[in-house]
Amino acid sequence: MSDNIIEIIRNKKARFEYEILDTFEAGVVLRGTEVKSIRQKKVNIQESYARIKDGEVYIVGMNVSAYEMGNRFNHDPLRERKLLMHKHEIKKLIGKLNEKGYTLVPLRMYIKNGKVKIELGLGKGKAVYDKKKSIQDRDMKRDMQRDIKKYV
């Protein structure tokens, strides 16, 4: 049985800003017009993060634009949204997030078998020199690929 996955958005900045140690898949609790906006790719996860409150995981700062046809039934674009995860995953996250420097960032949002899902990454912030090294490695890899194509 193959999963029907439609990617909505990817947070490219997250892998640059953080060293991702582990990833988790979570469902998102949404209201009616939010799903329609997300299907139209009117969502932004760049400045968002996840946090744990009372044993439940919430995503903060995710902007789901108002649905044009939604009239009075529209939602608040920046509200906190609950994420659905297994208890053992949440317990594992609580242990890691209590350590200094760890953050839970969204890496991508997609629709899997008709359900909106978010891939969360447990990350540790990179220092400035690590970011510079990432840029250097990326440039070097691109130059090598260019040279290989030239000689093949």
Which superfamily does 5-126 belong to?
A: Small protein B (2.40.280.10)
Q: What are the backbone dihedrals phi and psi of residue 55, each rounded to the nearest 5 degrees, phi first? A: 75, 10
* pLDDT at residue number 90: 92
* pLDDT at residue number 13: 87
- Mark out the alpha helices in 7-127 (DSSP H runs): 12-17, 32-39, 87-97
- Domain ranges in the chain? 5-126
pLDDT in tens, the chain (152 residues): 457 888 889 998 888 888 899 999 999 998 878 888 888 898 999 989 999 999 899 999 998 888 777 677 677 788 899 999 999 999 988 888 888 888 899 999 999 988 999 999 998 887 877 788 888 988 999 999 988 888 87
* pLDDT at residue number 26: 94
* pLDDT at residue number 108: 93
Query: pTM above the 0.85 mark?
Result: no
CB count in 10 Å sphere of residue 63: 15
* pLDDT at residue number 83: 93
